[in-house]
Amino acid sequence: MKNTVVTFQEMKAKGEKITMLTAYDYSTAKLVDEAGINSILVGDSLGNVVLGYPDTVSVTMEDMIHHGAAVSRGTKDALVVIDMPFLSYQTSVYDAVVNAGRLMKEGRAGAVKLEGGEEVCPQIRAITTASIPVVAHLGLTPQSINVFGGYKSQARDLKSAKKLIRDAELVQEAGAFAVVLECVPARLAELVSSRLSIPTIGIGAGAGCDGQVLVYADMLAMFSDFRPKFVKAFANVGEVMKAGFKAYDEEVKAGTYPAEEHTYSIDDEVFEQLLKEI
């Protein structure tokens, strides 16, 4: 069944947990979709996971469109959300609408995600007015890594916890249909979830959120550069891949691959004639 913005609202109303995973390519998107995950996030974490940057700040609109379109082609039922990359919306409301529109028209996004609270409410309002659904993102917002001074949990003192609650209410009022809460205390995330009518999607924010999101390469133990505390390895795919690569290396070198069943034949007569003619 096709998941939409309305599915998210209905699931929150029924108290059903929403699942979201990242994907950055066609084949992975197909597997995530076939597994019944409600939503696929083409996260700008592709900067780390796919492109090998130390953070997400170098990711471009072209990167997001390229990978977003591939994911959309591989997806039947999940709602595809594409991240707006750094400086594609902070610069002006106009830029925000134009770039969100590109992610929808060229990337075939069903919704876009952007980071920030009160300061990006004008952008959220304008993008949703243009009929593009928006997911907000609060707490640890990786595009602001240079301001935070590292990947640290957020909103743990009174002032910043109050600010998180206020920002969550403001992005909802501005028109966001869901909000990602990243690396914030579980009790605070649960409190925010109970105060909002839109669903919260947690990552490192405890079980009290309305849904959960993870980077697929983290939860399959494929990405080894760093492993945040909140990540659980649901399968050891990294090790399985390495074992497969090693077996291939060994068989090619030993001459056991390719075997007879992996080859194409040519008619004896054709081959003999060929030998005569060359």
Among 61, 63, 81, 83, binds ligand KIV (CB under 6 A): 83
Q: Where are the beta strands (DSSP E) in the chain?
A: 18-22, 39-42, 79-83, 111-115, 134-139, 178-182, 200-203, 211-214
Query: Which stretches does DSSP call E strand in 175-248?
Result: 178-182, 200-203, 211-214
Minimum distance from CB of 22 to ligand KIV (Å)?
5
Shorter beta-carbon distance to ligand KIV: residue 49 or 188:
49
Q: Name which position in 33, 44, 63, 210 contacts ligand KIV (CB under 6 A).
A: 44
Q: According to the binding rule CB under 6 A, does residue 28 interact with ligand KIV?
A: no
Pick the closest to residue 190 from 167, 215, 207 (CA basis): 207
Q: Does 180 bind ligand KIV (CB under 6 A)?
A: yes
CA distance 257 to 262: 8
Cβ proximity to ligand KIV, 42 vs 161, nearer residue: 42
Distance CA 105, CA 119 (A): 26
Is 269 tagged catalytic?
A: no
Can residue 85 be called a binding residue for ligand KIV (CB under 6 A)?
no
Give me the residue whose beta carbon is nearest to ligand KIV.
Answer: 43
* Residue-level length of the chain: 278
From the candidates 16, 34, 62, 182, give the one annotated as an active-site residue. Answer: 182
213 binds ligand KIV per the rule CB under 6 A: yes
Other Cβ atoms less than 10 A from the Cβ of 63: the count is 19
Q: Which of 68, 230, 199 is nearest to 135 (CA)?
A: 199
Q: How many CA atoms lie within 13 A of 69 on its CB side?
A: 10
Stretch that binds ligand KIV, among 43-51, 103-111, 154-162, 270-278 (CB under 6 A): 43-51
Nearer to ligand KIV, 22 or 200 (CB): 22
Residue nearer to ligand KIV on the CB measure, 89 or 275:
89
Least distance in Å: CB of 232 to ligand KIV?
Answer: 14
Nearest to 50 by CA among 70, 76, 73, 77: 70
| Residue 103 near ligand KIV by CB under 6 A | no
Catalytic residue annotation: 182
Binding site for ligand KIV (CB under 6 A): 22, 41, 43-45, 83, 180, 182, 203, 213, 215
